Amino acid sequence: MLEKTRASEILQAALRHSSADQTEVVLMGEQTWLTRFTESVINQNIAREETTLVITAVNDKKVGLIATNDISDEGIKKAVGSANEISLLQPPDERFVSFPDSEMAPLMEKTVLVEPNLGYTPDDMSRVVAGVAKFASKENLTASGAFRHDINTVAIANSLGVEQSGRSGKSELSLTIVGQQEQQSGFAIGAHPDPAQIDYRDVAQKAIGKAAHNVDPVTLPEGQYTVILEPAAVGQLLLFLGFLGFGGRTMMQRRSFLSGKTGEVITGENITITDEPDNPVFGTLLFDYEGIARKRITPIDHGKAGEGAFDSYYANLMGVPPTGHSVQPNNAYGPYPKNLVMAAGDSSVDEMIASTERGVLITHFWYINFLNPMRTMITGTTFDGTFLIESGKVGPAIKNMRTNQSILEAFSKVEMISKTRLLYPQYSSMMLVPAMKINDFNLVQETKEEWEGKC
């Protein structure tokens, strides 16, 4: 494991070797424990450690970047030289102003609110999977999924005096329970900064309940339906919304649905979305990949367009302060929020169901992709538990259906929001999301060819 003293030595060595006008060095250490299982049998149980050093050199506004896994003295020196040479071959980036200085990114004494669990092992994870498999077998079902535990160390320094380092942890148990019938499956997920705090029994029972009920599905005609989206489904929509429109790069390029709309109504007034990197439920680092303190932002405030997420580069272009949302320097997406929170309501899922004369209960979506980013139009398929609601009760399972839906339009027709919220992880993001009851949600029948293409 990369220790703080050694990380600082690597950063300072890189800066000493650099002759560039400005230099930024980011050191990322990742420890991953991963247990995958299929049909209730573990087929992968690994522990992996990787360290990556990213060096960015700037000469006369010419920017060169290189990444290496060689953190020996010779490897560091070689990488610094290569970053410098690459920069000299680039055209000037006239929009580049400067890396942050130590006044903009002062040294932080506290870098994380939740210390990572360093003692959780692959053996602990395999015991959890064995417990899940045992629950499933009692119902003549099998379990598939993954249990992942990450510990990330990040250390940052630049030639303007910035230096930060810290360590964070996150974990998730993603579970699909499968039966013998076609489409018989149920999904549930649990996440927490500490893997020992994930209640795998609760996750398993939720997925088992879905699978047990997901039999003999009926066909529903296409149309607009009242839907109840469970938290995972809401989280999947929220992830796309944040990626498509909350980032400083898309806002600067006017490719964001927030661009030029500050204060305008874009959803129902019951929708408030914040990004809360300082919320201990996430356990994330309190600084970004430039060393700047991560700040809370509110992209949607009671239905009105709000603020975006900025690193120093796009903040300079937009004439706003950076919000501490820089991501890894070798990314191609620009800054965007990774700890989105949707405000809770005052209902429960049971109350939503009881209030619905006819509708559809959706567990989550499969393979969401965007159709029109400015309109937030996405497409995706309901999966692992889609059920008809009739006269306030959950009825038969429904054959999976496809949606072609604007997320902002859906969030303009939210009738009820749950009090309780679920921590939902996807890709590198963690979100805190409720369930929702939404009216006039588009659902169409999926073709046989589309379904077979997933199997």
As a whole number, mean pLDDT of residues 156-160 equals 98
Contact 347, 354 (CB under 8 A): no
Residues 319-329: tens digit of each pLDDT: 999 999 999 99
Rounded alpha-carbon distances, angstroms, from residue 448 to 187, 361, 368, 399, 452: 22, 22, 18, 11, 6
The H-or-E segment that residue 225 falls in is strand 223-229
Alpha carbon distance 18, 55 (integer Å): 10
Contact 66, 53 (CB under 8 A): no
How many beta carbons lie within 10 A of that of residue 394, not counting itself? 17
Alpha carbon distance 270, 255 (integer Å): 25
Rounded alpha-carbon distances, angstroms, from residue 181 to 139, 186, 356: 14, 12, 28
Percent of the chain with pLDDT over 70: 98
Alpha carbon distance 360, 226 (integer Å): 6
Alpha carbon distance 273, 271 (integer Å): 7
As a whole number, mean pLDDT of residues 91-116 equals 96
**pLDDT score recorded for residue 1:** 73
pLDDT at 450 over 70: no
pLDDT at 305 over 90: yes
Look at residue 259 and give its three-state secondary structure. coil
Closest CA to 40 of 145, 143, 173, 123: 143
Q: Which tokens belong to 150?
A: 């990450």
The full set of domains in the chain, from first to last, is 4-197 (3.30.2290.10), 216-455 (no CATH)
pLDDT at 364 over 50: yes
Rounded alpha-carbon distances, angstroms, from residue 100 to 95, 126, 140, 173, 385: 15, 44, 58, 37, 48
Alpha carbon distance 262, 278 (integer Å): 24
